[in-house]
């Protein structure tokens, strides 16, 4: 198990390391408020926004870099790049290959922007009172009587 993302990158091919670092820098340049959290068991780097929460997790694998978008199933997909619908309920993935001709950074930033807009939209809406909340409220009301 690796102590941090940088230690993990030492064990990846140079082209993957370079791509992962470019994506990481691009995310922070576009969203300076992002914080990182390394998940050692997943070997992923979480990208968290203070108001939007966890937007995605970056995984540097042996042949590519994958970004799992936390609420990807709810996001628009303007370029048809999100994958994983057949196996993932909530998340979707962006797969970046070092040999790809199109630059990866603008794509990542665009999808992180979509993820943040979605998260902020959800955060701005009042939560619907679910069955559990209603029952709990009824119980609390009865206890107060």
Is the pLDDT score of 114 beyond 90? yes
Note the pLDDT of residue 112.
97
Is the pLDDT score of 11 beyond 50? yes
pLDDT tens-place string over residues 44-103: 999 999 999 999 999 999 999 999 999 999 999 999 999 999 999 999 999 999 999 889
The alpha carbons of the chain give a radius of gyration, in whole angstroms, of: 18
pLDDT tens-place string over residues 12-33: 999 999 999 999 999 999 999 9
For residue 47, the SS3 value is strand
* Cα distances (Å, whole numbers) of residue 31 to 23, 35, 85, 141, 142: 12, 9, 27, 44, 47
Q: What percent of the chain has pLDDT over 90?
A: 80
| Assigned architecture for domain 5-144 | Alpha-Beta Complex (3.90)
């Amino acid at each position: 198990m690796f102590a941090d993302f940088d230690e993990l990158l030492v064990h990846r091919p140079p082209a993957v390391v370079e791509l992962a670092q470019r994506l990481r820098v691009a995310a922070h340049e576009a969203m300076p408020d992002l914080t990182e959290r390394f998940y050692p068991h997943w070997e992923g780097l979480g990208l968290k926004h203070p108001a939007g929460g966890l937007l995605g997790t970056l995984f540097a694998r042996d042949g590519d870099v994958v970004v799992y978008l936390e609420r990807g199933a709810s996001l628009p997909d303007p370029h048809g790049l999100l994958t994983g619908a057949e196996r993932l309920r909530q998340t979707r993935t962006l797969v970046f290959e070092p040999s790809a001709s199109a630059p990866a950074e603008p794509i990542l930033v665009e999808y992180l922007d979509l993820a943040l807009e979605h998260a902020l939209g959800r955060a701005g809406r009042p939560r619907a009172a679910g069955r559990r909340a209603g029952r709990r409220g009824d119980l609390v009301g009865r206890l107060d009587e």
